[in-house]
Structure 1
Amino acid sequence: MPISIDRFEDGPEDALDITQGTQPHRILQFLAEHSDEAFTQTEIHERTGIKRGSVGAVLSRLETRDLVRHRGRYWAIAEDDRLASYATQHAASSASTTDDYYGEE
């Protein structure tokens, strides 16, 4: 989907442009929800349902953008201000969808 040239020219360069539902979004969402842990590619595959062969490629692209970090076989969410707001926004969104609007029975 094209965007206006004004948005292209004036948009913030540091914006986190990850489309919801994509593999990068799903991996970032998973890692943001578990920001106090690090995972192997196999564990990320098993927990997200993304094909094992795709996980490595997605993680490499995310690492290039400084959105994830790794040490040895383990991967974790990066320490980045954009990701802090992303995680906060996701947590708020998740909480609003699980609120009990009708009260307990």
Structure 2
Amino acid sequence: MVKLYEIAHCRAGDKGDTSILSLFPYRDELFDDLVREVTVERVAAHLAGQVRGQIVRHVLPNLCALQFSCRQALDGGVTTSLAVDTHGKGLSFRLLSMTVDIEE
């Protein structure tokens, strides 16, 4: 068992009230393990309380990346939110704290 931050990095972006989290393994050979372990259900459970809407996962094998669109995650969006993390950068760090069952 490892924390995602030990084997991957994450980039965050935002569109309105949607946070977009892109997860990239440090080593391409770990991509299939991430596909298996980092499911929508596990991400939703891990981010519960901060993401109130639907989470959609996109698998991008040519980039060795997973992208998660997290709706209703930014308290209305950058221009209307009074939340501390209006851009969702902290959400990417929260995702990286998730534990996965991967042997390095």
Alignment TM-score, normalising by the size of structure 1: 0.31
Max Rg structure = 1
Query: TM-score, with normalisation over the residues of structure 2?
Result: 0.31
More strand by share: 2
Q: Which has the higher helix share?
A: 1
Larger RCO: 1 or 2 (CA < 8 Å, sep 6+): 2
